[in-house]
């Protein structure tokens, strides 16, 4: 529902920043920390969507899934070095 709402804002933004973060406080005992990849519309100051990184994986697999869920055609998408992969 949230992603559908953000897609209704198409045309209101042109720049999307994508970055991954480790969620603080999620690593407890034997549990690994939770990693998320987020897409952020810089002009609106709004997160467009998030994708959880699978256990024993990295951002490289989550970024294409996030991009597929969003309509980024015609937008400038910026990524850090982790996103500079052929798969992305």
CATH of the domain at 11: 3.30.720
> How many Cα atoms occupy the beta-carbon half-sphere of 23 within 13 Å?
15
Residue 4: per-residue pLDDT: 66
Domain presence at residue 87: no
Q: Residue 19 CB: number of other CB atoms within 10 A?
A: 16
Residue 26: per-residue pLDDT: 86
Domain presence at residue 37: yes
Domain presence at residue 86: no
Beta strands in 14-84 (DSSP E): 15-22, 35-41, 46-52, 76-78
Q: How confident is the model at residue 5 (pLDDT cuts 50, 70, 90)?
A: low
Which range of residues forms the domain containing residue 7? Answer: 2-80
Instruction: Look at the chain and report how many structural domains it folds into.
Output: 1
Q: How confident is the model at residue 35 (pLDDT cuts 50, 70, 90)?
A: very high
Give the mean pLDDT of the chain: 83
pTM of the complete model: 0.76
Of residues 64 and 72, the one with the higher pLDDT is 64
* 8 A C-beta contact, residue 42 and residue 12: no
Domain presence at residue 85: no
Of residues 43 and 13, the one with the higher pLDDT is 43
Residue 19 CA to residue 49 CA, distance in Å, equals 11
């Amino acid at each position: 529902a949230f992603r559908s709402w953000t897609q209704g804002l198409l045309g209101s933004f042109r720049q999307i920043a994508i970055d991954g973060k480790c969620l603080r406080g999620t690593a407890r005992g034997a549990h690994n920390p939770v990693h998320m990849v987020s897409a952020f519309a810089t002009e609106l100051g709004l997160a467009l969507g998030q994708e959880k990184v699978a256990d024993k994986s990295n951002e490289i697999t989550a970024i294409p899934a996030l991009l597929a869920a969003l309509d980024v055609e015609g937008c400038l998408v910026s990524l850090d070095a982790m996103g500079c992969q052929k798969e992305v």
